[in-house]
Structure 1
């Protein structure tokens, strides 16, 4: 027989010993109680039979028990021999009376084991069989208390809801679940592993049996077993396993132990086990629950350690499942068990449970996960907001009473327990919440705090605090469309019957003025919050609060009116504009214009009358004597603003009806009415995109002038609009491809430059003298003779460039007549107007008079004569030179004609040939004097040339290098007197070219060099 035996190699032992072929031929599934007895009873070798019983581990409890019973029976004889040997060593004569409690004779027992090693092996096998018998008993008892089996019911499709066989398909309610551990594994695995497995499957009844029957083995691993229980399981299900405190020892209570055998077997005593291991036979008996991977603690925990374990366990439950109710139940269980230090955590969990389970949730049911760490990180106001985050106005008051008030009472009691009582903590936190919620939510709180309610039922129980909160909430709000809600809040406020004297009213009004400055944004405080306003209202006495509520009433009414006409303002604006006239005027203008611009309003007379009534109402005082939003504006100014807004919309028929109505709501002086119409017309004019006054804003600007009775100012403005329309018809451009806009026309300081653009951009415009002059008159230059003279000069110059000499001459004659008439109307000819007209006139006459291509000498002499009459003294010489040159040419022509007639009469010449020679001679001389005509103003830069032309017309005669030209003129005169005709012709041609070049230059605006 081998000297080495392990508990896991019984089959090897059996192989080394004589065996029964009948036993080895039986498989585990074929074993029955009868077959076991039949195969083993006939075998006399106890060791072999005991090893065979230990070798077979079955899942059948009945057969397994038969095997264990046979094994115990076959080890009994060896047990007695060993007990006898140990008793002899202890000088005990009665070996049959030895008990497990008898001390073991170590030396004698070792000697006995060395003499009979089979007894040692049988004792070791007995230890294993006894442990298996205890486990088998435990397993059988656990199976009796197995929970009912829970099977998932498969949802059938809708068409099978009425399945008649559905009832029979339901699982048996009395069927129990199979244990999570098979019997064979339970008998061999460490007990702690099996206990943890039962705990994870929530077999708490079975776990209780294991804890009682194997308390000595499982106690060190109690924490690991508890940690195996799923966190979501309610603690009531496993409360008997949770640790408790023994008040007598202030240590953890030990688990109650009810082992299967009141006393351990002699083989299981520590001395015998130690002797077996020291026998040298290497029996290697492992502990029944040995598992090095699981931590153990045999000593009971202290009170502080228990408290810490519970806190960690609660944190683990919340962090892994978020089930606050389960964590709270753990605390509620620990309190009666004597575990201290969990009161505050229980309090927090109770409040958190209200938030998670009792507070209203979002419609989708998906809220953030709540943990204790997150809860501890929240300040009280944030907690209140979380409680009421999903409350509706209808449920808010109820939620405050059942959720928020308990929380606030807990905070107050904590402060008292901490020795720092704070009686204002409830109101302070609640007020801060109210100040930072939407007005609709705040209104629900105020409605639940009405003074008519019993004090105990009011959320805000102090009337003065209620007024301060309402003022802070309303004036601190930026809302522009919640006027009904604001009125609901106002209607909930208390009304005090206070008689104030003048000093008190002045103090209250001064307070309101200070409040206006307080709410005005600044660099240090861009926005005044409701909390800031509450600080401002806090020290106000009752009389000032009452006055503030009266002012609030007026402001709410004004706010509703402004909102009605699409110009809403926050309530704080009424404080800011209380003493600001420009701000009130600006808002009145916005009201009159934006209301009129709304498409769904003001489409008839009644709407406009309603708007007028509201605007006038805002300027007056109510029953309390307080001014409205426009209280700093006079009624006359508001009427003017209203009419301006009405006219800006183009509803001129409504404006006329209001002005002529018998109700006479819109009573304005004729001068004011005219000013308003002119201002609105000009505004429409400036905003017009086209100058055509038959449509668009220009049409409105024109028709606006028909609202008041006619006057010179209105007529002048209408003519200017007509002139603008005519300019647009001429396609005047302000840039390449860009038509001139009305605003550019109005901003043009020199209106005649516009006429110059017309003449330069239209080849035939100069032919329509009356049209151009009418355009000048309507541009605001009617009865301005100088402007008319300049216009005629431009027309003559344009005709000259077009080589239409006759039209240029006729226009020049008309210009001369206007100048002479102007000179005759002034006693003093040195006035600037006459000098300017003379300058333009003589230059224009001189230009046409010296034009070589104009063949009518008499008309040219007439023009040069007018130039001599009107030019300044320093220019006489230049004009005279041109006059004499033209006169000499006329004399020569006359002489040639007379000589020709004499020759024809005397027969020296033939008429045809002589006439031909004379014509050739004249053309030759004219050819010497000829210059190409200046190009027409149809070139790409015609507009620029014309503009510069006009500037030159208004200036003095622009000969360049006047002195040089004057000296040249003297030299020409001397040469003419010397009779040198040919040289004179050359000089005249050269000088004429230069003079004409410069002459054309003054028309096109060339700069002098």
Structure 2
């Protein structure tokens, strides 16, 4: 009942009620076959899109069949245009005013205006034909996909990939594997309905981007004429990481005869286009039906398409290569594209291929081992911007000593040969370019790499296997690398390099030998740093060695052998020196002595401090070896030092390490190799550490030095300052020329130091003044002067009494004791007179007037006191309170008598002072008073011994030639002094 009801239903209603996914072949037959309206049936076939290819084909076939009557009518109207001719004649136009094609189009236009349904049917027929071609293409594509793989169910995916962070890339991995086998594992990325109605170019680009090259091949073969203008857009959709071998069939080739792109060979579904697909027919109904369904394919014929010339084709390949490297860094993919282009005759890509080949070696063959480092990002622009030397370093950046030989042969040498070939092609041949770049790398390489290169260049190897093939160049490069190195711990590696070098006969000719020695001396001056060249690099040294002949090179290698042995010895004792130091110090005894001192001291002060006698003997043996000459007669590192010098330096280091027991054993052992005189032994032990001075037998020199060290320690304990806030150092004390000035600084900086006379005198003796009367008196004078400045008059008197008893009339000093008279609060007149007596005894002649004046004044005071006591006695006043003063008066009288005796010792005639002749006494008194009244300024200002002024010479005379008042006064004072001296009997 239901089927009969549906069959009796109106076909229009029934067709409209069926959805697209439910349409069957039966529905097509029952609903559309019996409908007489061709336009409606054709429109119904165009309107419906289904996923079933069979049903879709039935719709397309039925629609095309219903357009055939209209097609026939339109063709008849197009071919018969008599009506148009009559119309033109009636209108006055000539039949020759239009072309045949224009008249045909006009006839067809007239027909479409009369029968608009036929125009619609022609338009719909063109759409149906295109869909039929696409349907056939879709079916052809699906032939390459098994039915089991046609639909990928989601549950078939392995559960372990559900949460995989790389899930987006799994499809591309599967696609890559499938495309390489020629069969895609996944179906095309579109449905039948979308493929029928979407732009064909979009679907083709999608296939290219997903690397569905099998499906892409089918589409391009069947629809190539319409897709040809967009062929490069399709190629650009292919991922840059895709190898060219997978899509080489789509890449353009070059016709070497025409110098243009080769025309592709295409096979469409229909040999000829349908009548409605002709451009002139389409133009007619398109004009009449502006809202028609647009065509999405290009309908240009292949003969009308423009072919790219050779140059533009090469440019496209270059751009594609550049994009591949910049976006992916996959040089091998870019290289495969160049190789394919070359096989297809594309010109002007030789240089690009050459660059990519070299870059490919760098990226893949010179890459670091996996897990050690990240690979660098290389682009073609970066590679081409490299200098040749930079490229060599890039090739060998990750090479190890074990692989350097192989890497140079397989990476660097091909690159160098390419550079040489390019220079020849450019008309600038440079045969030395490969060796020059290779030598430059060796000069800049680390020493382990250099050693491996030299081991692969030994003269015993066949020339073809050697990296450095020239023997003299090997010697030059080795000398430059070793003397230009700053390494202090690579002596075994340096020795390996030396062992690989060639050997030449030592020159017998004296002139040649002298010339070689002169070359070595010049080399020592060459490596000395300067302001323009702070460091001599291996490249600089190679320039020095380059012109040298084999004789000089042989001599230089002999010197190098000695220097390497010396370097190993110094390194053994923790005082390594760069190899160039041996050249720089070859003629510098100070530098050699300094390094020998470092060697002796560093060995004893190192962490692995020498403990046994055998170790210290080994050190001495090495030091003496450095001071001697080897079997070749070449001198060692300490060649300018004698064996005695080395022995002294050695013992100084031994003692500084505190090994006094070993030092005694070496000195007192009869079997020791040291034959040192007592003087030499003493000089060795004059050392800063006083403890070390107990090692040898006592001597005057050692005792004196030991006392000085003790004095130095004591001076440091007084907190003397070298500069504000900086304590004085022992070396400053040792370098002080006037050591008594140090005592003066102690007295001035320590308030109670003057009280310890014995300590200060002992300090002076240990400073080197033992037995020096002059120094002792000066010290006592400083102590007395310091006591006066602190108002300690009793201690000043005691000190003055001590040095006053010294038999030292030759020690006349202008400041000694005279300061006592400046202290009026010192009321003991008798002691003052005693001090002045000592002062007169030691006073120099030029200060005599000043002291006599003070003595006269003090004597007057004493007389006044006596008169006062006499008056008091006459008046009956008790003298108990004046008993002490009376005693002092008696002492004063004895002092006066003593003064007379001392003045006689100063060659002053007794008649001058003792005589009772009133004339002499009056004359002397008058002279004294005159001297007191003159402002001569001589000795008017007493100076402290704590001041440095007493040692400095007086300032120079007036340079203007005029004498001021002070100078006149000074001259008058000197004249008066001379007169007084004459008066007193001074014969000077």
TM-score, shorter chain, exceeding 0.5? yes
Q: Give me the whole-angstrom Cα distance separating, in 2, the residues matched to 1:794 and 1:429.
A: 78
Q: Give me the whole-angstrom Cα distance separating, in 2, the residues matched to 1:650 and 1:315.
A: 74
Give the aligned length. Answer: 855
Shift of 1:767: 6.0
Structure 1 range deviating more: 553-562 or 512-521: 512-521
Q: Give me the whole-angstrom Cα distance separating, in 1, the residues matched to 2:751 and 2:317.
A: 106
Q: Give me the whole-angstrom Cα distance separating, in 2, the residues matched to 1:198 and 1:1006.
A: 105
Query: Who is 1:26 aligned against?
Result: 18
* Deviation per residue, 1:851-891 (Å, 9 max, x gap): 86438x6x777777667777666444642453354255346
State whether structure 2 residue 682 is matched by structure 1 residue 705: no
Query: Who is 2:115 aligned against?
Result: 116
Map of 1:183-194 to 2, 5 A cutoff? 183-194=192-203
Map of 1:44-443 to 2, 5 A cutoff? 44-88=36-80, 105-146=104-145, 156=160, 176-277=185-286, 280=288, 282=290, 284=292, 286-289=294-297, 298-361=305-368, 363-443=371-451
Q: Kindly tell me: are residues 612 and 301 of structure 1, through their superposed partners in 2, closer, same or farther at Cα, counting changes over 3 Å? A: same
- Contact in 2 for aligned 1:359/1:387 (Cα 8 Å): yes
- Contact in 2 for aligned 1:812/1:845 (Cα 8 Å): no
Q: Kindly tell me: are residues 571 and 189 of structure 1, through their superposed partners in 2, closer, same or farther at Cα, counting changes over 3 Å? A: same
Cα RMSD, aligned residues only: 4.3
- Contact in 1 for aligned 2:655/2:692 (Cα 8 Å): yes
Shift of 1:88: 4.8
* Deviation per residue, 1:877-926 (Å, 9 max, x gap): 642453354255346536755774xxxxxxxxxxxxx64xx567999999
SS of match in other structure, 2:694: coil
Q: Kindly tell me: are residues 787 and 369 of structure 1, through their superposed partners in 2, closer, same or farther at Cα, counting changes over 3 Å? A: closer
Q: Give me the whole-angstrom Cα distance separating, in 1, the residues matched to 2:837 and 2:429.
A: 115
Query: Who is 1:940 aligned against?
Result: none
Q: Give me the whole-angstrom Cα distance separating, in 2, the residues matched to 1:268 and 1:386.
A: 62
Shift of 1:114: 3.2
- Contact in 1 for aligned 2:476/2:545 (Cα 8 Å): yes
Shift of 1:799: 6.8
Q: Kindly tell me: are residues 355 and 786 of structure 1, through their superposed partners in 2, closer, same or farther at Cα, counting changes over 3 Å? A: closer
Q: Kindly tell me: are residues 812 and 612 of structure 1, through their superposed partners in 2, closer, same or farther at Cα, counting changes over 3 Å? A: same
Shift of 1:209: 0.8
Map of 1:449-488 to 2, 5 A cutoff? 449-488=457-496
Q: Give me the whole-angstrom Cα distance separating, in 2, the residues matched to 1:853 and 1:716.
A: 45
- Contact in 2 for aligned 1:618/1:630 (Cα 8 Å): yes
Shift of 1:606: 3.2
Q: Kindly tell me: are residues 760 and 190 of structure 1, through their superposed partners in 2, closer, same or farther at Cα, counting changes over 3 Å? A: closer
Structure 1 range deviating more: 631-640 or 305-314: 631-640
Shift of 1:50: 0.4
Structure 1 range deviating more: 325-334 or 302-311: 302-311
- Contact in 2 for aligned 1:759/1:798 (Cα 8 Å): yes
Shift of 1:637: 2.5
Shift of 1:285: 6.0
When normalised by structure 1's length, the TM-score is 0.76
Query: Who is 1:658 aligned against?
Result: 666
Query: Who is 2:913 aligned against?
Result: none
Q: Give me the whole-angstrom Cα distance separating, in 2, the residues matched to 1:238 and 1:78.
A: 45
Query: Who is 1:167 aligned against?
Result: none
Query: Who is 1:785 aligned against?
Result: 773
* Deviation per residue, 1:795-851 (Å, 9 max, x gap): 566777888877666554443332xx345xxxxxxxxx2434xx7777489799x98
* Deviation per residue, 1:141-171 (Å, 9 max, x gap): 11222496899976849999xxxxxxxxx99
Q: Give me the whole-angstrom Cα distance separating, in 2, the residues matched to 1:735 and 1:493.
A: 58
Counterpart of 1:835 (choices 789, 805, 812) is: 812
- Contact in 1 for aligned 2:800/2:838 (Cα 8 Å): no
Q: Kindly tell me: are residues 786 and 143 of structure 1, through their superposed partners in 2, closer, same or farther at Cα, counting changes over 3 Å? A: same
Counterpart of 2:828 (choices 854, 857, 860) is: 854
Structure 1 range deviating more: 209-218 or 808-817: 808-817
Counterpart of 1:628 (choices 636, 647, 656) is: 636
* Deviation per residue, 1:383-442 (Å, 9 max, x gap): 221111101111111112222222223333444444544433322222221111111111
Q: Kindly tell me: are residues 25 and 557 of structure 1, through their superposed partners in 2, closer, same or farther at Cα, counting changes over 3 Å? A: same
Shift of 1:443: 0.9
Shift of 1:128: 1.0
Shift of 1:570: 2.0
Q: Give me the whole-angstrom Cα distance separating, in 1, the residues matched to 2:748 and 2:207.
A: 109
**5+ unaligned residues in a row in structure 1: which ranges?**
1-17, 92-101, 161-169, 682-699, 824-832, 901-913, 927-968, 975-990, 992-996
Q: Kindly tell me: are residues 861 and 591 of structure 1, through their superposed partners in 2, closer, same or farther at Cα, counting changes over 3 Å? A: closer
SS of match in other structure, 1:20: helix
Q: Give me the whole-angstrom Cα distance separating, in 2, the residues matched to 1:542 and 1:138.
A: 82
Q: Give me the whole-angstrom Cα distance separating, in 2, the residues matched to 1:476 and 1:808.
A: 71
- Contact in 2 for aligned 1:596/1:602 (Cα 8 Å): yes
Q: Kindly tell me: are residues 326 and 575 of structure 1, through their superposed partners in 2, closer, same or farther at Cα, counting changes over 3 Å? A: same
State whether structure 2 residue 587 is matched by structure 1 residue 579: yes
Q: Give me the whole-angstrom Cα distance separating, in 2, the residues matched to 1:970 and 1:734.
A: 56
Structure 1 range deviating more: 138-147 or 256-265: 138-147
- Contact in 2 for aligned 1:359/1:388 (Cα 8 Å): yes
Shift of 1:1001: 8.4
* Deviation per residue, 1:307-340 (Å, 9 max, x gap): 2221111111111111111111111212221222
SS of match in other structure, 1:196: helix
- Contact in 1 for aligned 2:225/2:298 (Cα 8 Å): no
Q: Kindly tell me: are residues 229 and 157 of structure 1, through their superposed partners in 2, closer, same or farther at Cα, counting changes over 3 Å? A: closer
Q: Give me the whole-angstrom Cα distance separating, in 1, the residues matched to 2:375 and 2:136.
A: 50
Q: Give me the whole-angstrom Cα distance separating, in 1, the residues matched to 2:652 and 2:838.
A: 54
When normalised by structure 2's length, the TM-score is 0.77
Query: Who is 2:168 aligned against?
Result: none
Q: Give me the whole-angstrom Cα distance separating, in 2, the residues matched to 1:883 and 1:271.
A: 156
Map of 1:912-991 to 2, 5 A cutoff? 915=878, 918=879
